[in-house]
Amino acid sequence: MAFHSEVHALLRKVSEEAILPHYQSLSAAQIEDKGGNDPVTVADKKSEEMLRDGLEKIVPDLAFVGEETTHADPSTADGLSGDCWIVDPLDGTRNFADGRPPFGIIVAMASGGEAHSGWIYDCLSGRMCTAHRGKGAFVDEERVTARETGDTPPVAAISLIFMEEARREAVKRHICPHYSLVDIPYCAAEQYPRLALGENDVSIFERTLAWDHAAGVLWLNEAGGKAARMDGSPYRVDADIYGGLIGAASPRQFDLMAERLASLD
């Protein structure tokens, strides 16, 4: 992609100018609750503004679907079915607002409901995960291949917070005992890298917002792991946000989790 380095540079600039100056220095007045314990900060808003302006210069005339823009105007999400940028200007806002990691910036390009390019930037470490469909997955320009942890039982980060109560209890009883459970990081920009870099073997997600998952799904699949709907069908950015998703370090780990989840239905 001719503009690949330009997106890299933009994400670093946004992190340095809009996000990190507010890290561990937010006042109460600079944090709002969008509802349901879903915070937004001045850093989220400034980051999205800079990203919108910067991405428009890199590839003009694409629809822009940003988390904060869409919260203010839900009709913005209609752009997900066409050619668009998909942006989470500060993923892991809850962590950021509490003054702790992880948090990052997520950007994807999509066409026809499927992501074809993705960037995941860790603001504190500077780690950049990138992928373009059919061209592999990279961390800081080095190609990576997804690997399992090798642990027995496998390591799982299972998000239960958006599940209905009956399903949550069933997962706790029938799925969780098969895994060594670790905390979820409340940050897709961290959770997807963990699935490819030998830290976690599998994760399940109930809510699948495009700005959280578009880039990560693409990147993990390009690394040779597997991220897909629980029935194995491809993740689409314009689909139901509660369709459920499994991310795994390998197709084998995906299949094992999918079989166990299917047995609950």
| Model confidence pLDDT, tens digit, residues 112-171 | 999 999 999 999 999 999 999 999 999 999 999 999 999 999 999 998 888 888 888 999
For the chain, the domain total comes to 2
Please say which residue of 144, 175, 205 terminates a domain.
144
- The annotation status of 114 as a binding-site residue, yes or no, is no
Please state, in angstroms and as integers, the Cα–Cα distance from residue 152 to each residue in 50, 147, 207, following that order: 45, 14, 28
pLDDT digits (tens, 9 = 90+) for 46-64: 999 999 999 999 999 999 9
Please give the full DSSP string across 114-170, using - where no structure is assigned: EEEEEEEEETTT--EEEEETTS-EEETTEEE--B----SSPEEEE--TTS-HHHHHH
pLDDT digits (tens, 9 = 90+) for 90-127: 999 999 999 999 999 999 999 999 999 999 999 999 99
- The annotation status of 10 as a binding-site residue, yes or no, is no
Please say which residue of 125, 144, 163 terminates a domain.
144
Enclosing domain of residue 56: 4-144
In whole angstroms, what is the distance from residue 14 CA to residue 48 CA?
A: 9
- Say if residue 138 is in the same domain as residue 24: yes
Handedness of CA 255, 218, 134, 234 (dihedral sign): positive
- Say if residue 225 is in the same domain as residue 96: no
Q: What CATH number does the domain containing 54 carry? A: 3.30.540.10
Q: Is residue 149 part of a domain?
A: no
- The annotation status of 98 as a binding-site residue, yes or no, is no
Rounded mean pLDDT, 62-74? 96
- The annotation status of 212 as a binding-site residue, yes or no, is yes
- The annotation status of 88 as a binding-site residue, yes or no, is yes
Residue 242 phi, psi (nearest 5): -110, 30
- Say if residue 160 is in the same domain as residue 83: no
What's the Rg (C-alpha) of the chain? 18
- Say if residue 136 is in the same domain as residue 173: no
Specify the pTM: 0.96
| Sequence letter at residue 165 | E
Name the average pLDDT for the chain. 95
